[in-house]
Chain A
Amino acid sequence: DQQVKQNSPSLSVQEGRISILNCDYTNSMFDYFLWYKKYPAEGPTFLISISSIKDKNEDGRFTVFLNKSAKHLSLHIVPSQPGDSAVYFCAASAGGGSQGNLIFGKGTKLSVKP
């Protein structure tokens, strides 16, 4: 049973517009959520995170929103750039510190068209 679900395997967006990547989770014990970005032939790189005590975290063009009641989070990228084209993984953790092993979703492939 998947605890972290990314139901859209792919998303295509025009350059300059907003990209919205969605993620749902089932485990109510998750209290930290992270987004990773992966280019082909490279490992995933950490992008942005949010704690369950917040409902929004912003870093430049990237904003993550958390809706705990719906067990849903989303990553907004605005404006989208062609260099943002990659696979985006949502991950969740139950517990901080070194014990917080991450559970990943399947990923969503974002394509930003010039």
Chain B
Amino acid sequence: ETGVTQTPRHLVMGMTNKKSLKCEQHLGHNAMYWYKQSAKKPLELMFVYNFKEQTENNSVPSRFSPECPNSSHLFLHLHTLQPEDSALYLCASSSDPANYGYTFGSGTRLTVV
């Protein structure tokens, strides 16, 4: 257990479904991130939140909607996804990424059918 908890670990959803991914950290970090890992591609930054404020949206389609109600919780709301959105979605948190890196959760393996 890294201190960053993601639920669910696995999710299968249809293209018309609405679901949410949850991330929680109690490490006292002020920044939280969503990354997408697809096969044979680099980890792709999706969203960044610093002190609950979104500081980066890396040209992510609107079918992905993040929410950060407080510094410890981060959600990714999903609706009308496509099969190509199937991937491992990783949440991370940090206070000083350059010196101490990110602390990642175990990820949610998403399959869109």
Contact = CB atoms under 8 A, between A and B. Distances in A.
Interface of A: 2, 4, 9, 31-32, 34, 36, 41-46, 49, 51, 89, 91, 93, 95-107
Given A44-B90, A44-B104, A104 B99 contact: no
Interface stretch (B12-20, B37-45, B59-67, B75-83): B37-45
Nearest to A105: B42
Interface of B: 2, 4, 6, 30-31, 33, 35, 40-43, 45, 48, 50, 56, 90, 92, 94-107
A105 B43 CA distance: 7
A98 B45 contact: no
Given A44-B90, A105-B42, A98 B97 contact: yes
Contacts of B92: 43
Given A32-B98, A98-B31, A106-B42, A43 B2 contact: yes
Given A98-B31, A106-B41, A46 B101 contact: yes
| B-side interface mostly | mixed
B100 A46 contact: yes
B74 to A, nearest CB: 14
A89 B43 CA distance: 9
Given A41-B106, A43-B104, A49-B101, A104 B96 contact: no
Question: What 4 A-B pairs are tightest by C-beta distance, nearest first?
Answer: A43-B104, A46-B101, A32-B98, A104-B43
Contacts of A91: 101
B101 A34 contact: yes
B96 A97 contact: yes
A104 B42 contact: yes
A44 B97 CA distance: 14
Interface-centre pick from B2, B98, B106, B107 (highest chain A CB count, 10 A):
B98
A44 B94 CA distance: 13
Given A100-B96, A104-B35, A104-B43, 18 more contacts: A32-B98, A34-B101, A36-B104, A42-B106, A42-B107, A43-B104, A44-B104, A46-B100, A49-B98, A89-B42, A91-B101, A93-B97, A98-B96, A101-B33, A101-B56, A101-B97, A106-B42, A107-B42
